Structure 1
Amino acid sequence: MPLRVNGPRKPVTRFSISAMCGLLPVLLGVVILYWQAERTLEQSTTQTAEEAVRQFDLMLDNTALAAQALVPLAGQPCDSATQLALREQVTRRPFVRATTLSWQKNIYCSSLFGGDYTSPVNPDDYVDGRLWLMDGNPVTPDTALLVYRLVEGDKAAFASVDGYHLTNALRLISRYAQLILQVGPHWLDADGQVRRTPPPTFAVAHQHLASTRYAYSVDAGMPDGEVWRYMQARYPALFSLLVFFGGLAALLAHWLQKRASSPTHELQRALGANEFIPYYQPVVRGDTRAWAGCEVLMRWKHPKEGLVRPDLFIPLAEDCGLIVPMTRALLRRTAAELAPHASRFTPGFHIGVNITARHCQDLQLVDDCREFLAAFAPGQVTLVLELTERELIEPTEITRRLFEALHALGVMIAIDDFGTGHSSLGYLRNFNVDYLKIDQSFVAMIGVDALSGHILDSIIELSGKLDLGIVAEGVETAQQCQYLASRGVDFLQGYLFGRPLPCEEFVNSLAKD
């Protein structure tokens, strides 16, 4: 990182002091990061378990409603009208896969079969007489089913949830935590197999949570060593900063008689010198591959070190509170560079800009966006703010007013790197968003890893159900492009279509498209 000071060499006695001063913040930082990672994972598994219970309660609410509607029909002949009522509940109720009636502990009518069908019922199979996690039925053997049973005297109605919905929820609710659904002695994890063996105990951040409404529980946790793996995956920039701060501390100790700039001062100096510049990466439509917009990426054009990668200064800018004025300056420079060429854009040309939790703490962002849009003719561009998740965005009254004002202004909201951040599903619940951006780690595993492919397909399916636009990042191969386009992904972004470019090269490339 370009925050170094050079000077003449000092006496050898200062080297040992400098080494200790440099090593201490690194070691202390690693300890703090480890502690923070443990806390974050514990909070994550707690939220994961709570979200899992909420999702499974929702599924069982639908099955309970179906059973309540059908139990008065139990004991009546299994004629066409009764079978129609059974199938109607399957059609009307989300998550309900099949419905069944029984009389005097004998199943005699099912939505899965035409005509009479007889099978005895063993009440002992059901926890509290109501819930049974079974490993299949005659129609779908070796496929998990969660069966809800409602009994009124000799009458009983059954409604079941397909294992696809159960395992889908277990996979999607959290990227890091592993989830288990347990009903009585049976339990189910993300591989979709129902087991009767003792459930595993997670080594890291184990959380056990029982539903207060239905007879089941969930366990969330992570395997041994996950804290270090999490730190390696989530804190590479912070590790770079630790090394940098250690080096800076050593330099400060070694050159006490010389003035040295702190990292914050260097960023402030660069901001005042307009050294933060926009680079533009094209975003194309999934169906036609025509340019639909671009993402604006911040770069640091240092006078001595040259172009500095954003992962070396963005985390520091967020930590010291400079990311907001840096983004404001980036918006102004972007408007100044692109406005003269806006006539080349298709109407509604998307311009994406990253924002963080600090941007959501006051309403100044609305004025910044209004100033940006004023540089263009009405309808010429669409500004898209992409929520990054390095810091968790808390839903508050200010954030509610902020997002309402942004939408009223015509600004769209996207969740960046969906599925990899603090609380992606929580953001969908708490904020009115317009787009999901699929993290490039999922795109990179297309055709390589089956599990990542299932998660990717589930995210695409989720966006369709929620009527959200979807953007895939990191598209580098024709195979990835074809895979995503065939699944109806709206927009694609990656090196296959263009690398981040300065304004002049970007505009020239746009003219050639």
Structure 2
Amino acid sequence: MPFTARRPARWSWRTLLPWAVAVLPLLCGLAVMRWQTEHELQASSRATATEVSEHIETILASLSAAANQLLPKAGQPCAEVQLALRVEVTRNAFVRSTNLFDHDNLYCSSLFGDFDEPVQVNDYTDGQLWLMDGNSVTPGQALLVYRASQGSRGAITTVDGRHLQSALRLIGKGEALQIQVGKHWMGEDGVVRDGTPPVAANAPVSVASSRYPFSVHSGYPADKVGAVLRARYPALLSLLLLLGAFAGAVCHWQIRRANSPRAELDRALQANEFLPYFQPVVRKGDYRWAGVEVLMRWRHPSEGLVRPDLFIPYAEHSGQIVAMTRALMLNTAQGLAPHAALLEDGFHVGINITADHCRDLGLLDDCQAFLAHFPPGRVVLTLELTERKLIEPTPVTLELFEKLNAMGVMIALDDFGTGQSSLNYLRQFKIDYLKIDQSFVAMIGGDALSQHILDSIIELSGKLALGIVAEGVETEVQRDYLARHGVGFQQGYLFARPMPLAELLLALASRPGSPRLPQAAAPEIMRG
């Protein structure tokens, strides 16, 4: 956490060591997961190639049976054996055509009957198989041809290449599969090519059939390992990131534990480094901006924007949050007041407060000073109670809330349903709004229990005549569900992310019907 203005050198060991400690668990985990993934992909690739090979062997067994059935008829007149050829085509689902040859001349075909075409033995791998790129009947359509011979006579059977293509596509989804017969090969696109098929980038495997002269090549594309890691191990990767971040944070804290957080926060407060960021709140129906929640951000001179969860808990623990909130309210008022014409009457401005703000009546002065910057009725100040510290119902606290109510300051109970004292606050103090914690909103359409709790909170607010604001709305499904159930106000990334003052003013000025920013003010805002 940046609690000192004096920083070590950019590339000193103090800077690099926490990063190294944070990255080490991730690198080790990734190395183990990558090795395991590559091992599994290799086994999967071999299993797929083996399965494809066995399927093609089944097809070839059908072709072989048909060819051997017809082999004794080779040399007989075509007119006498043509019916037998066609019977084999009908009987075998994979057999597309049957043929007989004599003295290396194909003389009879199940498709045409009498035929005259030379048979080149050299076209067949081991004199048995030929992966050809179509014939005169179906040019360009892959065919796998099986040849059985006895002396100078023999039988030839063929199977349509689409059977092979289906096997490559269906059995090996996500893999690069090819079947190779001699000097020809075919991939999933069904095109027969010459030469050797390309070697896969990951888990390349080649399985040769022990029964027929063909082989199957399998593997995965170059990005497969990364895709498997992202798909199979998101939880583990997240855990490794968390462990790495935790280890790096602990290392960082240990290196800088001698620094004083209180002094750093005091320095930042004096330097006016705590800035207001604004997240709009929209009303139901037209979803126009009804107001904003002011969020504290720390713009550190060397580390940039610091997340609030890194410094606000400590500020609350040390009691410095009161002075920081007072400065935040002053900055907010001074930034918005010159442009109050951009705000609709009754524009809500929400400020977070804790138990420390309720121990004396100083908060009244802060609220009066804030409202004094604006024309009467232009701004409604809303104080949002957090439950990180318990607010005791002391006489001072009760007087404070009574006077705030008389002043017209609204009270909202922040993150309702997550703290231990929410219901007590409803009973002890005058509450105007409930803010539903984003954890319940995120469960809309998912976790049934959380959704029931959400519905119960909405119902409770209605019975108590309280306004209700839903935080953390990120999807249209959540927005519409909340609107249907009567939630009057919504807030979340679906509508807008927290933004600095300059962006807020420009957004307000861009709304239809809003007054334009003075030309002299726009450059000054952008510089701010």
TM-score, reference length from structure 2: 0.51
The answer on 1:2 being equivalent to 2:2 is yes
* Alpha-carbon offset, residue 449 of structure 1: 1.2
C-alpha distance in structure 2 between counterparts of 1:448 and 1:297, whole Å:
29
Q: Is the 8 A contact 1:347 1:380 kept in 2?
A: yes
- Closer/same/farther in 2, CA of residues 382 and 249 from structure 1, 3 Å limit: same
Q: Give secondary structure in 2 for the equivalent of 1:382.
A: strand
C-alpha distance in structure 2 between counterparts of 1:362 and 1:250, whole Å:
38
1:309 match: 307
Write out aligned runs for 1:33-112 (5 A): none
Q: Give secondary structure in 1 for the equivalent of 2:376.
A: coil
* Alpha-carbon offset, residue 250 of structure 1: 4.1
- Closer/same/farther in 2, CA of residues 242 and 466 from structure 1, 3 Å limit: farther
Larger Cα-atom Rg: 2
Q: 1:384 aligns with which of 382, 385, 389?
A: 382
The amino acid across from 1:482 in the alignment is D
1:271 match: 269
* Alpha-carbon offset, residue 6 of structure 1: 2.0
2:427 match: 429
* Alpha-carbon offset, residue 9 of structure 1: 7.8
C-alpha distance in structure 2 between counterparts of 1:387 and 1:241, whole Å:
30
Q: Is the 8 A contact 2:3 2:265 kept in 1?
A: no
C-alpha distance in structure 1 between counterparts of 2:407 and 2:316, whole Å:
26
Q: 2:392 aligns with which of 391, 394, 410?
A: 394
* Alpha-carbon offset, residue 504 of structure 1: 1.1
Structure 2: 5+ residue stretches without partners: 22-244, 512-528
* Alpha-carbon offset, residue 241 of structure 1: 11
Q: 1:336 aligns with which of 334, 337, 347?
A: 334
Q: Structure 1, residues 187-233: CA drift from partner, whole Å, max 9, x if none? A: xxxxxxxxxxxxxxxxxxxxxxxxxxxxxxxxxxxxxxxxxxxxxxx
2:494 match: 496
The amino acid across from 1:378 in the alignment is P
C-alpha distance in structure 2 between counterparts of 1:247 and 1:293, whole Å:
39
Q: Give secondary structure in 1 for the equivalent of 2:408.
A: coil
Q: Is the 8 A contact 1:352 1:383 kept in 2?
A: yes
1:409 match: 407
The amino acid across from 1:350 in the alignment is H
2:506 match: 508
Q: 2:278 aligns with which of 277, 280, 295?
A: 280
Q: Structure 1, residues 454-497: CA drift from partner, whole Å, max 9, x if none? A: 11111000000000000000011111100001111110100111
C-alpha distance in structure 2 between counterparts of 1:305 and 1:463, whole Å:
42
Q: Give secondary structure in 2 for the equivalent of 1:332.
A: helix
Q: Structure 1, residues 227-274: CA drift from partner, whole Å, max 9, x if none? A: xxxxxxxxxxxxx9998687445446xxxxxxx641110000000000
- Closer/same/farther in 2, CA of residues 9 and 468 from structure 1, 3 Å limit: closer
The answer on 1:353 being equivalent to 2:355 is no
1:297 match: 295
2:438 match: 440
Q: Give secondary structure in 2 for the equivalent of 1:324.
A: helix
Q: Is the 8 A contact 1:339 1:376 kept in 2?
A: yes
Write out aligned runs for 1:224-235 (5 A): none
Q: Structure 1, residues 14-46: CA drift from partner, whole Å, max 9, x if none? A: x9xxx9xxxxxxxxxxxxxxxxxxxxxxxxxxx
C-alpha distance in structure 2 between counterparts of 1:365 and 1:324, whole Å:
9
Q: Is the 8 A contact 2:262 2:318 kept in 1?
A: yes
The amino acid across from 1:304 in the alignment is S
Q: Is the 8 A contact 1:241 1:312 kept in 2?
A: no
C-alpha distance in structure 2 between counterparts of 1:463 and 1:356, whole Å:
22
* Alpha-carbon offset, residue 290 of structure 1: 1.0
Q: Is the 8 A contact 1:282 1:294 kept in 2?
A: yes
Q: Is the 8 A contact 1:385 1:412 kept in 2?
A: yes
C-alpha distance in structure 2 between counterparts of 1:244 and 1:329, whole Å:
29
C-alpha distance in structure 1 between counterparts of 2:254 and 2:465, whole Å:
51
C-alpha distance in structure 2 between counterparts of 1:498 and 1:6, whole Å:
37
C-alpha distance in structure 1 between counterparts of 2:487 and 2:341, whole Å:
27
C-alpha distance in structure 2 between counterparts of 1:318 and 1:251, whole Å:
21
- Closer/same/farther in 2, CA of residues 360 and 243 from structure 1, 3 Å limit: farther
The amino acid across from 1:6 in the alignment is P
2:453 match: 455
Q: Give secondary structure in 1 for the equivalent of 2:497.
A: coil
* Alpha-carbon offset, residue 452 of structure 1: 1.1
2:479 match: 481
Q: Structure 1, residues 83-137: CA drift from partner, whole Å, max 9, x if none? A: xxxxxxxxxxxxxxxxxxxxxxxxxxxxxxxxxxxxxxxxxxxxxxxxxxxxxxx
Q: Is the 8 A contact 1:348 1:380 kept in 2?
A: yes
The amino acid across from 2:502 in the alignment is E
Identity %: 64
Q: Is the 8 A contact 1:282 1:295 kept in 2?
A: yes
Q: Is the 8 A contact 2:380 2:408 kept in 1?
A: yes
The amino acid across from 1:480 in the alignment is Q
The answer on 1:466 being equivalent to 2:468 is no
C-alpha distance in structure 2 between counterparts of 1:353 and 1:243, whole Å:
33
C-alpha distance in structure 1 between counterparts of 2:311 and 2:434, whole Å:
25
The amino acid across from 1:381 in the alignment is V
Q: Give secondary structure in 1 for the equivalent of 2:294.
A: strand
Structure 1: 5+ residue stretches without partners: 20-239, 253-259
C-alpha distance in structure 2 between counterparts of 1:416 and 1:384, whole Å:
11
Q: Is the 8 A contact 1:392 1:423 kept in 2?
A: yes
Q: RMSD of aligned C-alpha atoms?
A: 2.6
1:32 match: none
- Closer/same/farther in 2, CA of residues 251 and 509 from structure 1, 3 Å limit: closer
The amino acid across from 2:463 in the alignment is K
Q: Give secondary structure in 2 for the equivalent of 1:315.
A: helix
Name the count of aligned residue pairs: 282
Q: Give secondary structure in 2 for the equivalent of 1:379.
A: coil
2:102 match: none
Q: Is the 8 A contact 2:393 2:428 kept in 1?
A: yes
1:131 match: none
C-alpha distance in structure 1 between counterparts of 2:405 and 2:443, whole Å:
34
The amino acid across from 1:429 in the alignment is R
Write out aligned runs for 1:251-262 (5 A): 251=256, 261-262=259-260
C-alpha distance in structure 2 between counterparts of 1:499 and 1:287, whole Å:
20
* Alpha-carbon offset, residue 510 of structure 1: 1.8
C-alpha distance in structure 2 between counterparts of 1:440 and 1:247, whole Å:
30
Q: Structure 1, residues 274-312: CA drift from partner, whole Å, max 9, x if none? A: 000000011010122011000000000000000001000
